[in-house]
Amino acid sequence: MKQINTVNGTISPQQMGRTLMHEHFLFGFAGFQGDATLGGFKEEEYTRDCVQAVEDARAYGVSTIVDATTNECGRNARFLKKIADMTGMNIICSTGFYFQDESAFAYWNFRKGFADIQEEIFEMMYTELTKGIEGTDVKAGVIKLASSYNQITPMEEIFFKAAARAQKETGCVIITHTQLGTMGPEQAQLLISEGADPGKIAIGHMCGSTDIDYHERVLKQGVYINMDRFGLEGELFHTPTDEERMDVIKTLVDKGYGSQIMLGHDSVNVNLGRGLIMTPKMQELMKDANIRTIGKKVIPGLAKRGMTEDQIEALLTANPAAIFS
Ligand SMILES: [Zn+2]
């Protein structure tokens, strides 16, 4: 794909600029659709929050945001296009489903008794990448895949195989969710063995691990990694801290992997369904869980570790442009 699908038209890789590889304007855990009586879609409030997120990202030079929300978790082509039209931000949306325990597993599990669901999932992805989503002309720009803690389940494997085929036929980028820093090497291996282009794959949530050997087992396969949960740190999220993650980036850059690393927060700007009650303790734990953290903490933190401006810019600008080229 020489041209990249954003939700309001195509751009070239050179037009991407600073890019966040994994955020969520809207996100709801599967099932939120069933709580619509008390947790319906609040158009005005959500619009305000998402426009604010765009402005917060733009304040440190971001001009492209990849929205990683999967189909059943509230991906909303119409709404994302509205936000892009209102703000001028390049927003790239996904096609795909989340990992088994937190996805709409029941639907596909039921269908597989009646149809070749790998073929059906391929058709879904292919149509959303090339024709449009839900009858609109908004096209997905990436495939989003996910696997479970310490395993790729048989259902998840069907999605990976369908995605590899859709990648081959469209040239699109694949981004992934790994659960708590597990299965990164296996995800890359599965996609590549199914014929996907390693140069178009970004294994996600790799900042869930501080094990350099684990990172190298992924990077040596020629794929990218997304260090994309900055701000979601520590105990509550079962993850390393942001400081530890920055140390990992510095080590990997020193080992020569600086052209294979990209950044994001996995921020959720709107929780779909009923609003969440934020206790003071939760507020404290979530204080950096927003789209500002890379600008505020990570860029200065990497500089403090001795990374050059060019090395830091590569993570935000050159590497996203390269994977989308
Ligand atoms: Zn995410």
The tens digit of pLDDT for each residue in 86-118 reads 999 999 999 999 999 998 899 999 999 999 999
Predicted confidence (pLDDT) per residue in 135-168, tens digit: 999 999 999 999 999 999 999 999 999 999 999 9
1 pLDDT more than 60: no
Q: How far, in Å, from the CA of 95 to the mean position of ligand 1?
A: 13
Q: Residues lining ligand 1 (ion), CB within 5 A?
A: 68, 266
Contact 89, 44 (CB under 8 A): no
Give the C-alpha separation, 321 to 325, whole Å.
6
pTM for the model stands at 0.97
Distance 311 CA to ligand 1 centre (A): 25
Find the mean pLDDT for residues 313-324.
Answer: 98
For residues 252 and 214, give the distance between their C-alpha atoms in angstroms, rounded to a whole number.
11
| Beta strand pairing call for 173-177 and 201-203 | parallel
Both tokens of 316, joined, read 């935000």
Distance 20 CA to ligand 1 centre (A): 12
What is the per-residue pLDDT for 302?
98
The beta-strand segments (E) located in the chain are: 4-6, 9-11, 18-27, 62-67, 90-96, 142-146, 173-177, 201-203, 224-227, 261-263, 268-271
State in Å: Cα 190 to ligand 1 middle.
21
Q: How far is CA 24 from CA 108, 165, 200, 214, in A?
A: 24, 26, 21, 26
Radius of gyration over every alpha carbon of the chain, rounded to an integer in angstroms: 18
What separation in Å is there between the alpha carbon of 229 and the centre of ligand 1?
A: 8
Residues of the chain with pLDDT > 70, as a percent, come to 99
User: Is pLDDT of 284 > 90?
Assistant: no
Is residue 2's pLDDT more than 70? no
Q: How far is the CA of 264 from the centre of ligand 1 (A)?
A: 9
Confidence of residue 182 (pLDDT cuts 50, 70, 90): very high
In this prediction, residues 119-134 reach a mean pLDDT of 98
Please report, in angstroms and rounded to a whole number, the separation of the first and last CA atoms in the chain.
7
Among the ranges given (63-77, 164-178, 181-195, 224-238), the one the predictor scored with the smallest mean pLDDT: 224-238
- The mean pLDDT of 291-313, rounded to a whole number, is 98
| Residue 253 pLDDT exceeds 80 | yes
CA distance 316 to 303: 14
Three-class secondary structure of residue 132 per DSSP: coil
Q: Are strands 4-6 and 9-11 parallel, antiparallel or unpaired?
A: antiparallel
In this predicted structure, the answer to whether residue 300 has a pLDDT above a threshold of 90 is yes
pLDDT 10s digits, 23-48: 999 999 999 999 999 999 999 999 99
Q: How close is the Cα of 266 to the center of ligand 1, in Å?
A: 5
249 within 8 A of 227, measured Cβ to Cβ: yes
Query: What are the tens digits of pLDDT across the range 220-235?
Result: 999 999 999 999 987 7
Q: How confident is the model at residue 278 (pLDDT cuts 50, 70, 90)?
A: confident
CA–CA gap between residue 30 and residue 94 (Å, rounded)? 16
pLDDT for residue 51: 98
- Going from the Cα of 114 to the center of ligand 1, the distance in angstroms, rounded, reads 31
- Contact assessment for residue 298 and residue 307, using Cβ atoms and an 8 Å cutoff: no
Interval 192-220 mean pLDDT:
98
How many A from CA of 12 to the centre of ligand 1? Answer: 25
* Encoded tokens for 280: 């003071």
| Rounded distance from Cα 312 to ligand 1 centre (Å) | 22
**Domain 4-323, CATH number (from 3.10.20.90, 1.20.210.10, 3.20.20.140, 2.170.190.11):** 3.20.20.140
What gap in Å lies between CA 249 and CA 255, rounded to an integer?
10
The residue type found at 93 is C
Where are the chain's structural domains?
4-323
pLDDT at 166: 98
Residue from 200, 179, 311 nearest 256 by CA: 311
> Is-contact 100 159, C-beta < 8 A?
no
Distance 103 CA to ligand 1 centre (A): 12
Alpha carbon of 22 to ligand 1 centroid (Å): 6
> Per-residue pLDDT tens for 48-59?
999 999 999 999
